[in-house]
Amino acid sequence: MKTWLKKPMLLSLILAAATICATAQQPAHEAPQTKSAKAYDPFGQSGKPAHFTWGVDLGSGVDLTARDMTMFELSAGFGYKNPWIRFAGVGASILTMMNNSSRCYPVYAMLRTSFSPYFRRCFLEVKAGISFSSLLNYGSQNNLFGSLGVGITLAHSRKFTSHVVLRGVAIPLKKVIVDDESQLGYTLAYASIGIGCAF
């Protein structure tokens, strides 16, 4: 009687173990492929024309030097993209001061990357170039321009992406002598936020 009882129990245990193994192995084999396919950044894939991208941004920056130079910014750029790089190219901006007639026109090289071929919500943005500046009554001058930012992706697809970027912007201004007095000669610095899109 005991032997008869043990056989069905043993068979049940073997069948249960086989079922569990089969169930566990199937997702383990398929999951990496599904996850990998979904994780690749669709915007980094080649399109028509292959790997070409362009975009526009609108932003505003608070003057950290407290010299009443808070500004609006409109920028555009075009360049190259691939699975590792969201944008590598050139761009130009118009910085318009809110409370005076000063203007800055930066022209720069720009890089945006998340350091991965897979989709990442955050990315790094770096800009470096020259600003053609017209400041108050001091005339025009050419200055270095630099910006470092962290972006957060909003909508995202193979043909379109939108983002918000928090930036630190720096424009070192040259000294100007007015009536034997030294003016400017400081670094114009901004804490900026911008929203934009790329195609």
Task: List the chain pLDDT tens, one digit each, 199 residues.
Answer: 444 444 455 445 445 544 544 444 444 343 444 444 446 778 877 655 678 999 999 999 999 998 889 999 999 999 999 889 999 999 999 999 999 999 999 999 999 999 988 888 999 999 999 999 998 888 899 999 999 999 999 988 888 899 999 999 999 999 888 877 788 889 999 999 999 999 9
User: Domains of the chain: which residue ranges?
Assistant: 2-39, 43-198
Measured CA to CA, the distance from residue 25 to residue 54 in angstroms comes to 44
Cis ω for the linkage preceding 49 (within 30 of 0): yes
Q: What letter does residue 40 receive in the DSSP assignment? A: B
pLDDT of residue 105: 98
Asked if 101 contacts 69 with a C-beta cutoff of 8 angstroms, the reply is: no
Domain covering 43-198 assigned CATH 2.40.160.20 in the classification? yes
pLDDT of residue 28: 39
pLDDT of residue 170: 97
pLDDT of residue 46: 60
Measured CA to CA, the distance from residue 165 to residue 184 in angstroms comes to 29
C-alpha closest to that of 192 among 169, 172, 171: 169
pLDDT of residue 27: 41
Residue 52's identity, in one-letter code, is F
pLDDT of residue 36: 44
pLDDT of residue 137: 82
pTM of the complete model: 0.76
Specify burial of residue 71 (Cβ count, 10 A radius: 0-12, 13-18, 19+). Answer: buried
**Residue 77 phi/psi, 5° resolution?**
-160, 160
pLDDT of residue 159: 86
Tokens of 78: 């075009």
pLDDT of residue 9: 52
Separation of first and last alpha carbons in the chain: 76
Q: What is the largest CA-CA distance in the chain?
A: 115
pLDDT of residue 107: 98
